[in-house]
A and B are shown apart, each in its own frame.
Chain A
Amino acid sequence: MPPQQPPPQDPITSRSLAGIMLIAALLLIAVLGWSLYNEEFGLRPWRAYQARFSHVYSRYLEKRLAERRTAEVSLRNRPEYKKLEAAVEAVSEKVLPEDEKIEQQIQLATAQRAAMLHTFQTVRSYVGALTYDYEEVPNTPAYRSEKQSKFRAMQKAREQKHVVNWPVAPGKYVQRSFDYVQLNNEFNVLLDDKAEFLAERGKVDAPVKAAQDKLTAYVHKTLPGLNVAQLEGLLAKARSLTFEVHQIYVYPPGSFLNYLGGGSLVDRCQTCHMGMDPNLVPAQVKLTKANLGLAKSHNAPFTTHPEPILLKLHPINKFGCSTCHGGNGWGLDSVRIAHGRNAHWPSPLYYPSNIEAGCQNCHAADAWTPYAQVLNRGRYLFRVKGCMGCHKYSGFDNQKEQLTDAEHLIEDLDREKTANVEEARELNHEGDNAATNAEAEHFYGEATDLTVENAKIDTHLTVLESKARDLFEEFKTVGPDLKEARLKLRKDWIPYWIAQTHQFDPDAQMPQFKLEPYQVKAISAFIWQDALKGPPVPTQPRGNVARGKKLFMERGCLACHSIDIGNQRIGGDFADNLSRVGEKDKYDYMVRFIHDPQLRSEPYDPFLHKDLSPADYKKAGLPFIFDAQHSTFEGHQIEWEDPTVMPSFRLSWQDARDIASFLETQRTGMKYPSVSYMNDPKLFAQGKAWVEFYGCAGCHEIAGLENQGRIGTELTHEGSKPLSRLDFGFMLTKSEEGILPDGKKAKHGSWHNLRGFIEQKLRNPEVYDVDRYRPNPEGRLHMPTPVLSHSDLEALTTFLLGSIDDATLPPYYIYKPKGEAAAIQKGWWIVAEYNCMGCHQIAVGQKSVLQTLPMYQGPNSVNLPPVLTFEGARVQPQWLKKFLANPALSTTDTNRDGVRRYLKVRMPTFFFTRDQIRTLVSFFDAMSSQPLQYIPPKLKPLTPQETQIARAIFTSPAAPCLKCHMTGVAVHDKHASAPNLLLAKERLRPAWTLQWITNPAAMAPGTAMPSGLFRRENGRWVFNGPLPPIAKNYKGDMAKLLVRYLFEMTPAEQQKLLSRTPSASGT
């Protein structure tokens, strides 16, 4: 047996836990300390920002204050200031005695009122209570004695006298006694007295105030900005900043406090971005990193908004910040969370390069948004790069959808009509069998109403049918009509283009498809065999290349097309680069196309689903003619025109031949391989399948595939796709780790977001199919590569990123304009579709393509097409309608411009439908803030004397109008550089004309029209040149006189004037 061990000590009672307890207690205290610190700073990182802001902002304000003080001191020393100050003092002194007298009276009245106030209030409430007691007792015999006793009590209180220590002069009192009524009267009299005295003092002080106002105005004018007092106020605020969350809370319209339905906006961005808080930093203060002394800091979110105009349009207290910028408006835990960059946040802050995506959130229905140049570029690219050919996007190219809607509506109305006829018949029948006359009349009356209703439907139908016709004609394709391929294109060029689109033209609008050689062959063969084989395009003799080049450069082709490549490249990117067009197009076709782009070889009948050949017309017994006047075939609408947006420049056949001859020289010496397979009928079906697979018919018109829809996903709400819905494929891990598709390393997670996804996809659509097993092209992606520059890539990304599901936004933020603004919004879609901005400046701040071309720089800018920022105010809508329909303003002499015949560049004919013209006219009116209905004002006819004065001004050697303005006389017009004034009456609006002749430079900087022709004198315009004796005594407004004269101009009058204007004869 082992030796007995001493029993161990009791483990419970003998062990002291003091040590552990102490450590635990100390730990608890430490952790409590930590949590207090965390409560104050750790959980509130914005406190550090606020402390820093308080520091830097005070420093900034101190500097500003010192500057301002010095400035104000030097201002006070200026003689003007001293003079004004002395004036204030002088007036003040003058009114002082009277002022003091009034003041004494006011003081006495105030003292008297104070003396009686207590007594008056007590008595009034006592009497009031007794009166109520009396009134409350019912007025019946049973209560008579009680009522009488109450009445007595009331009367007693009313008659009781009260003694008041009444002041009569400062320090002097008398005893006065009042009863209730007297107290009441005296009190009201005192109130009236005081008001009277105050009014009197105001009157007496008026000159002082006027002098002071003058002084203040002078200070404001010479030293604008915040004054010392204001700055001091701001400084005090900045120094004593208390730490608090600065929050914008927007209740949904019509809701109350504590709105529980959600949808309200809570933005706490200003908690760190304190420069954005208008209470702290008023609009006059501009904070930048530099002026805060934080130029080098990467963590200084204190600047004011760089685009104040945007804040003016979107008041910060109504829109907050996250509505435009994204991010998590509530978040304050960390920069990452506040900016919504944490995982799963549905709307992370937009990156600076895509900042305008925020505009698209609410302005998705706009075709053009002011101040959003990147976004506008994105929209433009979505159109011209043909994205909209495959991807539906609400608003883009929606004529087909609108047409379907209109057709459905027509069907509905037709059905309603038939039903009405049937019902009317039944009602008449019931009327015939009615028991009484009155009943019968009731039935007949209802039947008549239905007939009238049908007549109304008929008028509606007429409008709808005409709209449907318009929509049918408005439909344009993104790419050229491939039915004409055989007549238009060189055969060997087709496969080369399809395979190496961007080698042929690096700026090509058509995206680069990734095709196997056998696919290229099949597609080329299909297009060739599928195209129309006739009737042949008329052969044309060759033209003059040099003249063609001149015309090409001058007429305005460069607004859309570009020519030459590399550094030499000039022109717009709305349409193709033409530097190799000679390798592509056949000469005869080019001539026809330039002469009139609407011409096509055979019309297409969507009802019969076929192109109508001469044989079809012959069978129908019709001549083979199809144009605007012959736009139907056997009763149905046909597509009689080429669906291109290219307008007609109304060039003569000779001009067209010259330009085509020039374009034919635009070629390299490249040899194309033989393409005999293109006639192989076996490839036809295969090629057709590929053409359908790649959705070519989304952009091109292709025989047999006219009804193929868009093959891509709709992108209207692409920006709302959550991260979890993006298929990064085998790029997933790489995107999370920040490894770019090209293998380069970027920041962790830097492109694992929607922006990165879109950008990489646009760079290479197949990027997310890397490593996937796709042996056959059938299994591969349909989407071609758009081939974009970096900035264009960002613009398109911005556009798509901003294309969010508007259901995620409170509806009141979405821009749904009404009236004039809606007219503007609608008009921009046409302006964008037809690239009006290639030639014209339409919005302030926007530049046309032509404005950027070298040949229109400096003094040559007078050769530019007119700026249209004021077009709606300038011209009359009726005239504008006429002009847009036919810019030549003539049906016979079309090879000219209707207004500015002196310009080389020409307004082309766009073949707008009536609906489009209406939209455009309303657009221009609304853009110039003109009412949408125009009624021309009546101008007073000129008296003979006035005519003479006007004539004298008109022909004055100081400003001979006809020196520049056209007259229609060929010799004279050779040197003219302004429109014919004979047009004024019909074309211009008098109000604009007056504004224009008095200050043209303000409306169109750089215009050749001289400014300063008139000077303002006693509220009227006076001619600023030598006046004829007859005008010396003219008291009227001379500019208005000239306007009235212009609006009475006749050809005979103009001829007379021409002879009187020596410098206008062209010498």
Chain B
Amino acid sequence: MLGNWHQLWVIISNPDNVPVVALIVLVPFFTWYALRQAKANDRLIAKLEADPELARTHHRKTQPYHPSWQKEVHVWPYLLRIELLAAIIVTVVLLVWALTINAPLEQPANAAITMNPAKAPWYFLGLQEMLEYFDPWIAGVLMPTFIVLGLMAIPFIDANPLGNGYYTYKQRRFAIWTFLAGFEGIWLVLTLIGTFIRGPGFMWFWPTETWDPDRVEFIATRNLDQMFGVNGKWLVHILPASQKPYADLWAKGLFGIIPVGLYFLVAGWLFYKIITSTPFSRKIFRRMSLLQVVVMEILLIVMLSMPLTFFMRNLFRIKYVWETPWFNL
């Protein structure tokens, strides 16, 4: 039943959720703020490039600047004073936070009585939400590994020499959109779902819907092979005698390769189209080695699988597309 505003307030005001609530405000603000600066720089760059006189004095890889600005400034005082200011402001914010909100401690731990819903700390809620859609070892091991290694790999697969050290949109369009989609579009959304949507039993409750621990939910999901009626009836005839009892597994395993393979091909082609869509991006693409392209493609394809699975599960009630005795995808 919708309309339980009191509960929504309880969730919002929960000390556990302060960072998430702050995210809702801070992330859009800083995104906007950064893009504003990027746009200003872009305008400046456009102006610099339009004027051949200026273009000659300005190297393209440095911060764009006006003729009247100093080309270089000293760390002290110009950088350090800003850092000091930031440090002071952050200290003030953290102190106020610490003074006003106590640690949300609960009862002494008891393995026999666990909380419901049992939620991870806010920074792991995205990960916990992924566990809803993938096998634990994929969502819990493989994906986090991809995220960590992928983030580490970024400098090595980034073939774009422009836009280092200053805000720019035009020169780093692809990188910015990848970030917006991956971090804000996927990770943040998963975190928000984990905070505001997941109630007792980790069931899906819309905001202001009462978190009833006794709610009964009907969620029938099926695997893709079940939808297509894959049961190994034909495979029995081809398989050697020793494998005949496992025809069902064979059929499912083999069948799953098709959609997964198809996805890899289609998504790979899609990303190829995107990274070669403009003359500028084509120039960057040509600078990349095969290894760089392959790594980037794999990372992007894996990233896209998350929202895809999300929609497949929630809209079409499809659980897995590839079922094997060892893992399900």
Contacts and interface: CB of A to CB of B under 8 A. Distances in A.
Interface in A2-20: 7-13, 17, 20
Contact of B113 (A31, A343, A725, A727): A725
Given A25-B88, A724-B115, A35 B95 contact: yes
Given A20-B85, A38-B99, A343-B106, A7 B67 contact: yes
Nearest to A733: B210
A31 B95 contact: yes
Nearest to B91: A28
A836 B253 CA distance: 77
Contacts, number: 82
Interface string A985-1019: 00000000000000000000000000000000000
B102 A333 contact: yes
A13 B99 contact: no
B304 interface: no
A32 interface: yes
Nearest to B89: A24
A729 interface: yes
B9 to A, nearest CB: 13
B108 A17 contact: no
B85 A21 contact: yes
A31 B115 CA distance: 35
B106 A344 contact: yes
Contacts of B110: 346
Nearest to A328: B107
Nearest to B65: A10
A42 B99 contact: yes
Contacts of A9: 68-69
B73 interface: yes
A659 B68 CA distance: 120
A27 interface: yes
Q: Is the interface of A mostly helix, strand, loop or mixed?
A: helix
B6 interface: yes
B95 A8 contact: no
B226 to A, nearest CB: 32
Contacts of B70: 10, 12-13
Contact of B4 (A35, A343, A344, A733): A733
A737 B98 CA distance: 29
A452 interface: no
Given A727-B214, A729-B214, A28 B92 contact: yes
Given A13-B78, A34-B99, A7 B88 contact: no
A615 interface: no
Contacts of A729: 214
Interface in A327-356: 333, 343-346
Contacts of A35: 95, 98-99
Interface in B36-57: none
Given A31-B95, A724-B113, A732 B212 contact: yes
Given A31-B95, A34-B99, A737 B113 contact: no
B24 to A, nearest CB: 24
A10 B81 contact: no
Contact of B66 (A8, A333, A724): A8
A10 B70 CA distance: 7
B66 A17 contact: no
A7 B81 contact: no
Contacts of A936: none
B113 A722 contact: yes
Contacts of B69: 7, 9-13
Interface of B: 4, 6, 65-70, 73, 78, 81-82, 84-85, 88-89, 91-92, 95-96, 98-99, 102, 106-108, 110, 113, 115-116, 210, 212-214
13 contacts: A7-B67, A8-B68, A12-B78, A13-B69, A24-B89, A24-B92, A27-B88, A28-B91, A28-B92, A31-B92, A42-B99, A724-B115, A737-B6
The 3 closest A-B pairs by CB, nearest first: A7-B68, A10-B69, A24-B88
Interface of A: 7-13, 17, 20-21, 24-25, 27-28, 31-32, 34-35, 38, 42, 333, 343-346, 722, 724-725, 727, 729, 732-733, 737
Given A13-B69, A31-B99, 16 more contacts: A12-B73, A24-B89, A27-B88, A27-B89, A28-B88, A31-B96, A34-B99, A38-B99, A333-B102, A344-B106, A344-B107, A344-B115, A345-B107, A346-B110, A346-B113, A732-B214
